Amino acid sequence: MNARPLSVAVIGAGPAGIYASDILSKSGLDVSIDLFERLPAPYGLVRYGVAPDHPRIKQIIVALYKILQRGDIRLIGNVEVGRDLSVAELREHYDALVFSTGADTDAPLDIPGVDAPECYGGADFVSWYDGHPDHPRTWDLSAKEVAVIGVGNVGLDIARILAKHAEDLMVTEVPANVAEILRTNQATDVHVFGRRGPAQVKFTPLELRELGKQPDVNVLVDEEDFEYDEGSQAALAASNQQRQVVKALEGYAMAEPEDLTASHRIHIHLFSAPHEVLTDEDGHVRALRTERTRLTGDGTVTGTGVYRDWPVQAVYRAVGYASTPVKGLPFDSENHVLPNAGGRVLGEDGEPITGVYATGWVRRGPVGLIGSTKSDAQETITNLVADAQAGLLHADTDDASQVGHDAVTVLLTRRGVPFTTWQGWELLDAYERQLGQDYGEVVVTSGQSKGRERVKVVSREAMTAISRSQEVPEDLIAAPEADRVPDRVAHRLEG
């Protein structure tokens, strides 16, 4: 009798999980792979962490789609580990587990006043404007002056969305409820703050250059914010990308005053460390206090004791993402990762937990781009394959009928978990694209009108119903929220 295939569960269907699954499928092992995702739709932060006006970045989805479309990796969506299935149950039903749950919450910022009601997590705001189904459908955009803390691409995305005129987003996949609220946006001045200097900011050159190409939005940088120490010079000498960033910042700083006539402005302030969120007598944000910093020689900075208060009515924290613990596994709460060695998850005793692995941001923290994600996955899967070849991997059961896809889907069905599949995603994908055509007639700059590529369905219930070829619940269709689908397509399921 032939041995059954190795049965592996990958938890998290963002780029990290999909790349790990792809590498494993091509490893030469006889393997069966189930890819679990807690949302009804795949792609993780590519779908729910990239601004809607950045379709270029979303082209990553094309590559991910081609991997999943092959059919040798089975998607099981709308299933949350720790809620619908426990880690212990997964270990019983699979020979190995690979966690690629990512990082989708905000890293903490420990300054006074940060708990004021108008002090928001950047990740929460991104999830809102990207139509994440588990986040509120509304957002307060009444602030005219706004602070964004953090000089990475997420900070730029937030600043750009807040400064941009709403009509310039109507050609994108922005959800209808988000579009309606963005039309009420009062922001005219968005201030972006970074602790260090131009040689240390984390923007990418293309993102920074695109910031200045928005209609009726000026980008302002103070000429006094260009200082370089020995560490800064070394950083610039080592990185052409950083040199391009500095060149773009200098270009904004040298703009002629007569060219700065836009009604909306993005101000980039360097050497400005957030010190305190100031509130009025009712506890609402009235200003951000920053401390001027100076370089110390090695590219790091220290405070000068010089403070400035910036009148703002809202503060957005964009100081990084953090992973959340996985119930049933150890967690490094200081670094916000699963403790691991080469992707092998470590137990409380510091030894690898047999058959449990990690890849992506939950393994290394929220740093690096797609290239890092692929190399991460390669190392993790190489170690998994080595363990399999050494005979170390096996499910916690002697009953082969209880191992793998069929056993788990039967269990989920018995529990009443409305899981989704790859075929279900193709239904939802087609449905959203149809919404773009039927519901997204927009006027573009040429004066011609055309449908949008897609309009996202936001409600988890609606996403699940569409994916499972069920009628969209009537209360969602009739709801006054702007994210309801149009009546003429509300009951139509594509496929």
Q: What is the 3-state secondary structure (H, E, C) of 322-386?
A: ECCCCCCCCCECCCCECCEECCEEECCCCCEEEEEEECCHHHHCCCCCHHHHHHHHHHHHHHHHH
pLDDT of residue 176: 86
Name the residue ranges covered by the structural domains of the chain: 6-103+323-415, 105-321, 422-478
Res. 317 pLDDT band, cuts 50 70 90: very high
State both tokens at 45: 């932060």
Residue-wise pLDDT for 112-129, tens only, equals 999 999 999 999 999 999
Residue 5 in contact with residue 400, Cβ under 8 Å? no
pLDDT of residue 443: 42
CATH 3.40.50.300 is held by the domain 6-103+323-415: no
d(CA 334, CA 454): 40
pLDDT of residue 477: 47
d(CA 161, CA 52): 9
User: Helix, strand or coil for residue 166?
Assistant: helix
Give the right CATH number for 105-321 from 3.30.1780.10, 3.40.50.450, 2.60.120.280, 3.50.50.60.
3.50.50.60
d(CA 340, CA 384): 13
Q: Quick one: how far is CA 373 from the chain centroid?
A: 14
State both tokens at 113: 């006043």
Phi then psi dihedrals of residue 354, to 5 deg: -55, 125
Res. 435 pLDDT band, cuts 50 70 90: confident
Decide whether 6-103+323-415 matches 105-321 in CATH topology.
Answer: no
Looking only at the bridges linking them, the beta strands covering 340-341 and 344-346 are antiparallel
Whether this model's pTM surpasses 0.85: yes
Res. 228 pLDDT band, cuts 50 70 90: very high
**pLDDT over 50 (residue 342):** yes
